[in-house]
Amino acid sequence: MGTADLRKAAIVLLSLPGQRVGELLERMAPDQAAAVGEEIARLGRLDPSEQAAAIESFISAARPKQPAMREPPPFEFLYGAKPRELAALLEDELPQTIAAVLSHLPVEQAAKTLDALPEERQAPVVRRMAEMDCPDEEVMRELAAAIRRRLPAEQDNQSAGGIRNVVKMLGAMRPAGERRLLGELAQADPDLHWKIRRAMFGPDVAALQIHQPAA
């Protein structure tokens, strides 16, 4: 026991009723009890602030340590996402970004999301996953925050009714058919195409390939 700890122990004991001091000293190893007893004899008049600090330090040391709160995995908010919707959200990202996201998803969800990506994107993503080392946790959380901001928000009144029905229908189509139809709509009705993409992916992702038409 160091000098500072010895003094704290002596102050705490001296703050207890007299009979408790003797009981506690008897429970200590003989050499410790002797050292604490000698320190008690040297204390003299206690400074109230030092006494309060010593007692608080003793209470803090005796208090059970609370287990650290588990921080959720960075991409946990995507665990419930449908693979095809997730693939559509990530489709325009760099292969290393897609690889980072997929590597943090449950295996089955990651596999189905990879399968839902355009075929030409799949091999580059797999290569990036194979090359990945242990990623920096802070970087992953920043990436997760950026992806989260791109998730579709609650649709406003202009996206209600018919647009939502169209989005549900497109979501039930095969990916190739969905892309073909969206491509045809982009040529035939750019304004409608924008509204559908915004309803499907949110404005940030929709704006990656097209710009919102003038009002």
Report which listed range, 59-68, 70-79, 102-111, 149-158, is most confident.
102-111
Under the banding of pLDDT at 50, 70 and 90, the label for residue 133 is confident
Structure tokens of 63?
């208090």
| Neighbour-count burial of 137, counting CB atoms closer than 10 A to its CB (0-12 exposed, 13-18 middle, 19+ buried) | exposed
Residue 169 buriedness (CB in 10 A; 0-12 / 13-18 / 19+): exposed
- Domain ranges across the chain: 3-62, 76-149, 157-206
What is the DSSP code string of 60-95?
HHHSPPPPPPPPPPTTGGGTTS-HHHHHHHHTTS-H
Indicate the pTM of the whole model: 0.43
Q: Does domain 76-149 have CATH number 1.10.220.30?
A: yes
Task: Label residue 67 by pLDDT band (50, 70, 90).
Answer: low
pLDDT tens digit sequence for 156-204: 333 344 677 777 788 888 888 888 888 888 888 887 887 787 777 665 5
Identity of the amino acid at 210:
I
CA angle (3 as vertex; 2, 9 as ends), nearest 5? 90
Distance (Å, whole) CA 13 – CA 36: 9
